[in-house]
Amino acid sequence: MDKNKLIEVKDLNKTFIIGGRFFGSKLVAVNKANLVMQQGKPEIFTLAGESGSGKTTLARMILGIIEPTSGHIYYKGKDVTRLRGKKEREWFKKEVQPIFQNPFEAFNPLKRVETYLFETALNFGIAKNKNEASDIVDEALKSVGLSLSEVYQRYPHELSGGQVQRTCIARALITRPSLLIADEPVSMVDASLRMSILNFFHKLKTDYGVSIIYITHDLATAYYVSDRIAIMYRGYIVELGPIEKVLTNPLHPYTQLLLDSIPKPDPDRRWNKRIKLADIEVKEYMALGCKFANRCKYATERCFKEEPYDVEIDGRKVKCFLYSDKEVSTTL
Ligand code: SF4
């Protein structure tokens, strides 16, 4: 553990039992995930992959919503899988805030939206009283292009989807977090709002020093907004590195499959080739060796027997036998 690291995910695993507790099989949804984000170097880090790749499970473990089967998550040097007491847990919740895909799920339809904002400001001790909370809430809403008067006394259904998502982001900002974990935050909003949220993420990073883990299946928006990307496949991070390198010159055969042209830095253009894979192929999760072997045109006998390890090459980490025999233990 290193206090200079904002977050360090170390050999993180999550195994689910499918088909019954006693006779079921083990499905390793996240397998030996490693990643590091540094303190003082805010960045937008994308976790990308199709449904069933493990990206949401990994994000939920970082948030503490799902308990890892093994491995560690260090946040500012503290192992958050072993937080003790209310004080430590509250500290972590304040520092690391989630933004979910469907903003309407974050709010009870029978509760006025400003109630959540005031509760956040007061319960986390950001404001001492309602007056102070009102200023803090208004400031957070203004940072996302809204104001307290616009949402005051209104229920979620009285706001547009974009307003509700912006209110969710404002709520996340009230605790002044160092890290946001945003799970498909723009997949349910229209093109213009998508742009404004992505630009706002960029502003949060550059102007306020907030780092963001951005979870998406949409490589165009990832390209537009991110500094680095990790591509996940069947529970593994198969390629991790600077966005430009990974998306313009992919090394892992799976990343290559995802791309069929040089990405355009335009989030309004959706990626023109979706991955043609079945949602979750349990068989592939269970397979020995490389999970991608059945689909890989470069697969050799070894790929079906041995699990590939991470190789550091050209400033990135790639999990594939094609590149080197030299295993690396560094976490990029
Ligand atoms: Fe293909 Fe083998 Fe590399 Fe897996 S390890 S991606 S099967 S070449």
Q: How far is the CA of 322 from the centre of ligand 1 (A)?
A: 7
Give me the helices (H) in 75-147, please: 85-95, 113-123, 130-143
In this prediction, residue 240 has a pLDDT band, given cuts at 50, 70 and 90, of very high
Does the Cβ of 233 fall within 6 Å of ligand 1? no
Residue whose token pair is 């890989």: 296
pTM (global) more than 0.85: yes
Look up residue 253 and give its two tokens.
């055969």
Is the distance from CB of 65 to CB of 11 less than 8 angstroms?
no
- Considering only 38-42, 79-83, 316-320, which range has the smallest mean pLDDT? 79-83
pLDDT at position 260: 59
Contacts of 94 (CB under 8 A, 6+ apart): 124, 175, 176, 177
* Calpha distance 243→227 (Å, rounded): 6
Does the Cβ of 240 fall within 6 Å of ligand 1? no
In our burial notation (b when 16+ CB lie closer than 10 A, e otherwise), range 133-170 reads: bbebbbebbebbebebeebeeeebeebeebbbbbbbbb
Tens of pLDDT, residues 147-173: 999 999 999 999 988 889 899 999 999
> What average pLDDT does the segment 92-110 reach?
89
pLDDT at position 282: 63
pLDDT at position 146: 93
Does the Cβ of 287 fall within 6 Å of ligand 1? no
Is the distance from CB of 285 to CB of 232 less than 8 angstroms?
no
Look up residue 20 and give its two tokens.
């019954």
Does the Cβ of 308 fall within 6 Å of ligand 1? yes
Residue whose token pair is 């907004």: 225
Look up residue 303 and give its two tokens.
């790929």
pLDDT at position 274: 45
> What average pLDDT does the segment 102-122 reach?
91
Instruction: Centre a 10 Å sphere on the Cβ of residue 192 and count the other Cβ atoms it contains.
Output: 10
Q: Is the pLDDT of residue 324 over 80?
A: no
Single-letter code of the amino acid located at 135: D
Look up residue 259 and give its two tokens.
């791309």
Candidate from 296, 317, 323, 324 with most ligand 1 atoms within 8 A of CB, to mutate: 296
Residue nearest to atom 5 of ligand 1 (CA): 320
Q: In terms of Cα–Cα distance, which of 267, 116, 105 is closest to 186?
A: 267
The pairs formed by 118-127 with CB atoms below 8 angstroms and a separation of 24 or more are 120/171, 120/174, 120/175, 121/174, 124/90, 124/93, 124/94, 124/174, 124/175, 126/174, 126/175, 126/176
Q: Is the pLDDT of residue 272 over 70?
A: no
In our burial notation (b when 16+ CB lie closer than 10 A, e otherwise), range 86-100 reads: eeeeebbbbbbbbbb
